[in-house]
């Protein structure tokens, strides 16, 4: 049974679920936060959790379709995240789905939790390959509790071809340079989202996860 001491990782057929589960469980153990971390596709269980994590790998439209195809999931997320302000962490496409629109193979509605769009990465240097894959150095754009102890220049791991363009600069917490600025971390109210994969970003990723687990928005 989900409680305030649980972290629900949403299973909707997309995402590196087991790696995420292991990373969040390890961070909870090492930080001593005491939360139980589990993967679930049950909207009622997710709605009752103390923290919610939305991973995502693949195309924007496919991920949105898979998420909302689960009966009651859209309503459960709106109630928990938007109305009751349960702490929420979106990862990769899970972060992109927080946007209003995604422009990947057409124009597709997102969850609309943050104003902005998801667009193809277009590096100014044509030698830079797409997808953007590998390690890159964070640029800290704004102070935030989830960035506690994470300095500018910290290496984090990316695998993506599209990037979130927040309409409000205040939502941008960190970026990286890949032939121009690319959004790395966004946040507003009780929500954060990382384009990079914290579960693959070694110590820095575990620190970010632990900060999220301790965060009281």
Known catalytic residue: 92? yes
Residue among 21, 63, 92, 108 flagged as catalytic: 92
Q: Is 63 a catalytic residue?
A: no
CB 57 within 8 A of CB 15: yes
| Active site annotation includes 197 | yes
Centre a 10 Å sphere on the Cβ of residue 161 and count the other Cβ atoms it contains.
13
b/e map 170-203, b = 16+ CB within 10 Å: ebbbbbbebeeebbbbbbbebbbbbbbbbbbbee
Q: Burial of 61 by CB count in 10 Å (0-12 exposed, 13-18 middle, 19+ buried)? A: middle
Please give the helix or strand (H or E) that residue 37 lies within, else none. strand 36-40
- Choosing from 108, 132, 160, 197, the catalytic residue is 197
Name the token pair of 8: 């629900």
Which residues are catalytically annotated? 92, 197, 199
């Amino acid at each position: 049974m989900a409680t305030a001491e649980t972290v629900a990782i949403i299973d909707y057929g997309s995402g590196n679920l087991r790696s995420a589960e292991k990373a969040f469980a390890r961070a909870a153990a090492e930080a001593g936060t005491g939360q139980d971390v589990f993967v679930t596709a049950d909207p009622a269980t997710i709605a009752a959790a103390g923290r919610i994590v939305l991973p995502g790998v693949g195309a924007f439209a496919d991920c949105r379709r898979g998420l909302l195809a689960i009966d009651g999931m859209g309503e459960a997320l709106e109630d928990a995240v938007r109305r009751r302000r349960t702490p929420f962490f979106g990862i990769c496409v899970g972060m992109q789905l927080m946007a209003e629109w995604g422009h990947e193979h057409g124009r597709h509605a997102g969850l609309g939790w943050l104003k902005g769009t998801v667009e193809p990465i277009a590096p100014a240097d044509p030698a830079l390959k797409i997808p953007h894959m590998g390690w890159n150095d964070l640029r800290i754009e704004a102070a935030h509790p989830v960035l506690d102890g994470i300095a500018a220049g910290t290496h984090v791991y990316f695998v993506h071809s599209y990037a979130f363009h927040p309409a409000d600069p205040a939502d941008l917490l960190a970026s990286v340079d890949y032939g121009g600025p690319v959004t790395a971390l966004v946040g507003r109210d009780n929500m954060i989202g990382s384009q990079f994969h914290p579960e693959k970003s070694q110590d820095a990723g575990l620190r970010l996860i632990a900060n999220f687990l301790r965060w009281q928005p």
